[in-house]
Chain A
Amino acid sequence: MSGLSLVILILGLALIGWLAGRMRAAAFRRGSRRRYSSQPVHHGWFVALWTLVPPLLFLVLWATVSPALVTDAVLTNPAAVHLPPLGFERASILSEARSLAQGQSYGAFHQLSQTLAPAYAAAQARYDWIATAIALLLAFAGGAFTFTRVGPGLAARTQIERVVMLLLLLASLIAILTTMGIVVSLVWEAGRFFARVPVADFLFGMHWSPQVISMRDPGASLGAVPLFWGTFFIGAVIAMIVAIPFGLMSAIYLTQYADPTTRKWIKPTLEMLAGVPTVVYGYFAALTVAPAVRQFAVSIGMANASSESALAAGLVMGIMIIPFVSSMADDSLSAVPAAMRDGSLAMGATSSETIRKVLVPAALPGVVGGVLLAVSRAIGETMIVVMAASGVATLTANPFASATTVTKQIVDLLTGEAEFDSPKTLAAFALGLTLFVITLLLNIVALTVVKKYREAYE
C-alpha cells in the first residue's frame, strides 16, 4: 500500500474515532444535570488524536530507519558478494539498484545494479507490509483504548489543551533551531575551509583571485581584504552618502513641515522604495545608471572608467536604503516630546534652528540606530552588486573604478561546477560567516542604541 493511501486510511480511522468518542461522551451526559469540564467534542478529539498521532510518528521514524534496513536485507543476497568495498562506487551501485527497483529509471550503468534490483524490490515490499501492519495496529490500539476511557472521569479537554500548548511551544523552538542551523552550518563549513586556509591569510590577505588557487598555498589567493573594502566602500560609504542626507532631510520635512495630507501620501510612497525587489534595482543599475556614470566619468576626463563602477552600484543601493534611514529618523523625531520643540520655538527660534539645534540632537540615538540598521542592510545586499558591480577584487578608492563585495563573491564562488569540497566553494561559507557576524553585531548595536534612547524618554 502506498504511503499516501496509508495516511489517508489512518486519517479516516481518526475521523471514525472522533465521531465515536463524541457520541459516547454525549451518551453519558444525557439526562444528567451535572457540569462537566470537557465537552463531547473534546472527547472526540482526544480519541482522534490517539488514533492519528502514534502511527504517524511511527511512520516518520520508519522513513528514516527503513532505507538502512532494506539495504541490509539486500546485502544478504548472494549477488551482493560482488559489490566493491565501502566507497563511492558501492554507494552508486546501490542507489542505482534502488531507483531501478522503484521504477524511477530504466537503464543502468552497472551490471550489478540490474541483478540487485529485484532483491531491492522484494526487500522493500516486505518492509512496506511490516510498516503498514504496525501503523494500522497502532491506530486501532490507540483508538480502541481511548474510546473505552471516554467517561465522566476523563479530563479530555485538559489533555487536548496540553497538546495544543505543546504545538505552540514547538513552533517557537523552530526559531531557535533556525538560528542554530545557520550558525552550525556556517561554522561547520567555514571550519572545513579554515582547516585548509589559515584564518590570518583569509582575514588579512590582500589578494583575491579564486580562479587560480594553488594547492600548496591556497591562502595566497584567498585574501578577503579587497572584498571587505569593496563592501565597505559601496555599502557603507557611497550608499550612505546618498541615503543619509535624503533620508534624514525627508524625515525632517515630513515630521516638521509637511501638512497631514502630504505626509499621509508621501510616507507610504517612500516606503515603496524599500518594496521594489532588489533584482529590479540591479537591472536598473546595470542598464541605466552604470552607462550614465561611465559617460560622466569619460566626460570629465577619466579614460579608463569602468562600466561596472562602484559608484553605479553604490548610488542605486543608496536609493534603496533611503526608506530605512527616513523611517527610523521619522520615528525618533516624532518621539521627541512636544515640550522640547515648544520650548525652543517659544524663545523665538526659527523652525530650522529648532530642528538643527534641539530636535535632531535629541533624536540622534534613534537616527544613529537607523543608520546602523541601514548599513547592515546595505552590506548584506546581493543582487544590486551582482548585476551592477564587477567580480574583480581591487583595493581602489576611486568610485569610477570597479570593486567587488562579499555578497557578489559568494554568488560567484557557488556557481559553476566546482566540487562541494574545494577551497573555492568552502570560501563562500567563510565569507558567509563573516557577513553574518558583522551584520549581527551591527544589528545588536543598533537595537541597543535605540532601546537606550526609548528608555530616556519614557
Chain B
Amino acid sequence: MTTTSPKITARNVSVYYGDKRAIDDVSIDVTQDEVVAFIGPSGCGKSTFLRTLNRMNDTVASARVEGRIELDGEDIYAPDMDVVQLRARVGMVFQKPNPFPKSIYENVAYGPRIHGLTQSKTELDAIVEGSLRRAGLWDEVKDRLTDSGTALSGGQQQRLCIARAIAVEPEVILMDEPCSALDPIATAKIEELIHELKGRYAIVIVTHNMQQAARVSQRTAFFHLGHLVEFGATSDIFTNPRAERTKDYITGRYG
C-alpha cells in the first residue's frame, strides 16, 4: 500500500465544556481510503472527538477546542476557515436517522443546491441518482422519489442520510454510531455499504459494537475517559492489544 499523506491530522486536541475537560490531548491520523473505528465505553468522549472533526461542537456555546486539527494540511479551526464548506467536505451521519421532512429527492438535492454544485436540473437529477445508487438505495426508491423521506423504514432512512451526505461530494464521512438504532438486517446492509464507500472516502465510525469495529475498520482507536489509550491496526488491537485497559475492555471486563 502506498503511504498517502493523511487526510486528517489531529495533534494534541483537548476539548473543554466550560471547565470540564472531555477530551485530553488526543493525536490521531486518518488517511484516504480507509475506515477508522473509535471504540470505548459510554461517555469516554469518542462522539465528542468525532464532532470536533467537522466543527459541530461550535453549536455548543460552552465548548472550547485546543490543539490543531488539519484537513489536507489546512487548520480547520483557523478564523478564515469557512465552516460551511468544511462541513460539505467532511460529512456526518448521525446515530438516529434524521432525514428532512421533505421528499426523498429534496433530501438528497438540498446539499448540492445550497452549495451551488449544479447549473441545471439534469445535473441535479444525475447527482441525486448517483448518490442514491452509491448509498444502495436507488432501486428501492427510484419510483417514489417524491414520497416523504420520513416514510421510509429505519434502515432506509439511514441510507438516505448517507446518500444526502455523499451528494455534496465530501472527502471524509464521519459516522456516529450509525447502526445503533437499526435492526440486524439493516445493520448488515449499512456495513456492506461502508465497505463499498471506503474506496472513495475516508470514513471514521464511532461504534459501541466491538464486533462491528472488527468487521468494518482497518484501524481502531480505543478511547477511555477522554484519553486516546491505543490506536493501531484493527487486527492488532483485537488480538494483541498493548495497553492493559484495552485488553480489559476487549475482553469485556467493563464497558
Q: Among A35-43, A222-230, A407-415, which stretch is in contact with chain B?
A: A35-43
Within 8 A of B (CB), among A29-60: 29, 35-37, 39-40
B48-90 contact mask (Cβ, 8 Å, vs A): 1 or 0: 0000000000000000000000000000000000101100100
- Nearest chain A CB to B76 CB, angstrom units: 15
| Apart from A35-B88, A35-B115: 11 A-B pairs, beta carbons within 8 A | A29-B116, A35-B85, A35-B116, A35-B117, A36-B116, A37-B82, A37-B84, A37-B85, A39-B114, A39-B116, A40-B116
**Bound CA span A29–B119, Å:** 10
| Chain A minimum-CB-distance residue to B169 | A35
Complex-state Cα separation, A40 to B115, whole angstroms? 11
Main secondary structure of the interface of A (DSSP, over half): loop
CA distance A37 to B85 in the complex (A): 7
Residue of A nearest to B84 (CB): A37
CB-nearest residue of chain B to A30: B119
List the A residue with the shortest CB-CB distance to B114. Answer: A39
Chain B, 84-104, CB within 8 A of any chain A CB: 84-85, 88
B150 to chain A, nearest CB (A): 27
CB-CB contacts of A277-303 with B at 8 A, as 1s and 0s? 000000000000000000000000000
Complex Cα–Cα for A36 and B117 (A): 9
With both chains docked as a complex, state the minimum distance between the C-beta of B169 and any C-beta of chain A, in angstroms: 9
Provide the B104-115 mask, 1 if CB < 8 A to any CB of A, else 0.
000000000011
Closest residue of B by beta carbon distance from A25: B116
Q: What are 8 inter-chain pairs, A to B, with CB distance below 8 A?
A: A29-B116, A35-B85, A35-B115, A35-B117, A36-B116, A37-B82, A37-B84, A39-B116
Per-residue B-contact encoding for A1-37, CB less than 8 Å = 1, 0 else: 0000000000000000000000000000100000111
Interface centre among A29, A36, A37, A40 (most CB of B within 10 A): A37
Kindly supply a per-residue 1/0 record for chain A positions 172-206, scoring 1 wherever the CB is within 8 Å of any chain B CB and 0 otherwise.
00000000000000000000000000000000000
How close is B111's CB to chain A, nearest CB, in angstroms? 12
Interface hub of B82, B84, B116 (most chain A Cβ within 10 A):
B116
Instruction: Write out the residue numbers on chain A whose beta carbons fall within 8 Å of the beta carbon of B85.
Output: 35, 37
- The chain A residue with its CB closest to the CB of B115 is A35
- In the bound complex, what is the Cα–Cα distance between A380 and B88 (angstroms)? 55
Instruction: Report chain B residues within 8 Å CB of A37.
Output: 82, 84-85
A110 to B116, CA, bound (A): 68
Nearest B residue (CB) for A35: B85
Most buried by A among B82, B88, B114: B82
The 10 closest A-B pairs by CB, nearest first: A39-B116, A37-B82, A37-B85, A37-B84, A35-B85, A35-B115, A36-B116, A35-B88, A40-B116, A29-B116
Measured CA separation A36–B115 after assembly (Å): 7
Encode contact with A along B188-214: 1 for CB under 8 Å, 0 otherwise.
Answer: 000000000000000000000000000
Report how far A40 CA is from B85 CA in the complex, Å.
16
By a CB distance below 8 angstroms, the chain A residues around B82 are 37
* Of A35, A37, A40, most B-chain CB atoms within 10 Å: A35
Alpha-carbon distance between A35 and B117 when the two chains are bound, in angstroms: 8
Contacts of B115 in A (CB 8 A): 35
A313 to chain B, nearest CB (A): 51
A36 contacts across to B, CB distance below 8 A: 116
Min CB distance B83 to A, Å, is: 9
B92 to chain A, nearest CB (A): 18
Interface flags for A207-233 (1: CB within 8 Å of B; 0: not) read: 000000000000000000000000000
With a CB–CB cut-off of 8 A, which chain A residues contact B88?
Answer: 35
A31 to chain B, nearest CB (A): 10
Q: How far is the CA of A37 from the CA of B117 in the complex (A)?
A: 11
Shortest CB-to-CB span from A292 to chain B, Å, is: 56
